[in-house]
């Protein structure tokens, strides 16, 4: 029993200790990663510092052995300034190392300087710091880069010139098409309607004048005939009464004395006078109201087809400027039509048997 209890207690203790160790493992891993990163940065800086000491003593092989593992195969240091220093001093040590073949030295140094140019196109080594071979190689590569840029610019310019020539041809073709379309558009005929403003006051005249003025001749003729008929008959009855009847007490009721023998006929005639008078006044009122309701503010006096070019020429010319007054009548530019449609009254002589007179003509 004692042995079993000891085994059980040991198992529980192991089970409780395992999660705690598992939870602590990630934190320890992160801490180790940070420490490793700091150590790597410190190692890179230390290696570069040691390489600079070897460079100062002229030990080019030692400089190469320290820096090449850091930057070989496209590798780069995390610190850009440290990476630039490593590549620059490695380039100088490579060019000054007589143990290497000259072609290999030039090839390796060219690769290092190219990486410096890729990081900064305006990079240049500090003056009077490194050996002359580095400055000579730098000048050669800089000149080669400038020449490559010049060739690229020339190629782009040649391409742009070719595109420009193509665009000039297209522009000339489109310009010709535009001129053709412009000419065809100018030759196109359009309908021009000349209108004048009507005077609403003329539509207040009875006897169909307002309808004739609005261009509705049939309606005007109907009102004219109806008003003339009712007015003429009513006027005839009034004239007959004026000659056949007398008033003994002014316009007092029962003061009208007529020569007619039949009282019923006299009463019917007076009723007819009243009906015709009401009908005449009603027709005049209806005539004026309908003329006002159907009034057209503008009247088309002329419709013609003209070319667009002629219209554009007239618009471009504008009104003629008035110069100094000279002798003789002033020439006025004739307009296409009247600006306003006005009523024109013209008298005319009338001759009839036994005398003469004057008449009046209304023109609108």
- Angle, vertex CA 160, rays to CA 158 and CA 162, nearest 5: 70
- pLDDT tens for each residue of 153-172: 999 999 999 999 999 999 99
76: which residues sit within 8 A by CB, 6+ positions away?
A: 83, 115
Cβ count within 10 A of residue 114 = 13
Q: What is the mean pLDDT of residues 281-287?
A: 90
**HEC profile of 147-199:** HHHHHHHHHHHHHHHHHHHHHHHHHHHHHHHHHHHHHHHHHCEEEEEEEEEEC
Q: What percent of the chain has pLDDT over 70?
A: 68
Among 91, 74, 75, smallest CA distance to 126 is for 91
Task: Output the CA torsion 161→167→172→178 (10° steps).
Answer: -160
Q: What is the DSSP letter of 21?
A: H
- pLDDT tens for each residue of 54-95: 999 999 999 999 999 988 877 888 888 999 999 999 999 999
Bigger pLDDT: 341 vs 141 = 141
β-bridge pairing 189-198 and 340-341: parallel
Range in 37-46, 98-107, 307-316, 317-326 the model is least confident about: 317-326
Q: What is the mean pLDDT of residues 226-237?
A: 86
Q: Which helix (H) or strand (E) holds 223?
A: helix 217-244
- pLDDT tens for each residue of 331-351: 344 444 444 455 555 666 766
Tokens (6 digits) for 266: 């006299």
3-state secondary structure of 81: helix
pLDDT for the residue numbered 205: 84
Cβ count within 10 A of residue 63 = 26
115: which residues sit within 8 A by CB, 6+ positions away?
A: 71, 76, 87
Among 118, 70, 111, smallest CA distance to 91 is for 111
Bigger pLDDT: 304 vs 152 = 152
How far apart are alpha carbons 137 and 55 in whole angstroms? Answer: 19
Domain spans in the chain, listed from the N-terminal domain onward: 196-301
Q: What is the pTM of this model?
A: 0.41
């Amino acid at each position: 029993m004692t042995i079993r209890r000891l085994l059980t207690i040991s198992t529980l203790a192991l089970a409780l200790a395992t999660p705690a160790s598992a939870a602590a493992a990630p934190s320890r891993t992160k801490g180790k990663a940070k420490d490793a990163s700091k150590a790597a940065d410190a190692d890179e800086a230390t290696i570069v510092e040691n390489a600079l000491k070897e460079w100062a003593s002229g030990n080019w092989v030692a400089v190469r052995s320290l820096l090449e593992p850091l930057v070989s195969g496209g590798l780069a240091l995390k610190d850009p300034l440290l990476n630039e220093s490593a590549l620059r001093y490695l380039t100088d040590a490579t060019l000054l190392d007589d143990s290497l073949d000259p072609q290999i030295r030039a090839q390796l140094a060219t690769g290092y300087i190219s990486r410096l140019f890729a990081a900064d196109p305006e990079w240049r080594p500090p003056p009077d710091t490194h050996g002359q071979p580095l400055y000579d190689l730098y000048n050669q590569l800089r000149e080669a880069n400038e020449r490559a840029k010049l060739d690229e610019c020339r190629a782009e310019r040649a391409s742009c010139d070719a595109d420009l020539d193509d665009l000039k041809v297209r522009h000339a073709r489109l310009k010709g098409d535009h001129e053709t379309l412009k000419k065809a558009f100018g030759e196109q005929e359009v309908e021009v309607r000349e209108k004048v403003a009507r005077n609403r006051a003329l539509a207040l005249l009875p006897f169909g004048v307002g309808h004739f003025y609005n261009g509705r001749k049939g309606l005007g003729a109907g009102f004219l005939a109806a008003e003339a008929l009712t007015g003429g008959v009513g006027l005839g009855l009034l004239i007959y009464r004026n000659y056949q009847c007398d008033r003994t007490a002014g316009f007092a009721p029962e003061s009208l004395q007529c020569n007619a023998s039949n009282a019923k006929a006299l009463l019917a005639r007076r009723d007819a006078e009243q009906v015709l008078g009401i009908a005449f006044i009603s027709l005049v009122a209806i005539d004026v109201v309908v003329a006002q309701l159907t009034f057209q503010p503008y009247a088309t006096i002329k419709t013609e087809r003209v070319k667009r070019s002629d219209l554009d020429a007239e618009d471009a010319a504008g009104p003629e400027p008035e110069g100094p007054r000279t002798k003789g009548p002033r020439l006025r530019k004739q307009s296409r039509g009247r600006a306003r449609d006005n009523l024109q009254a013209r008298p005319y002589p009338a001759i009839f048997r036994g005398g003469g007179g004057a008449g009046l003509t209304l023109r609108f």
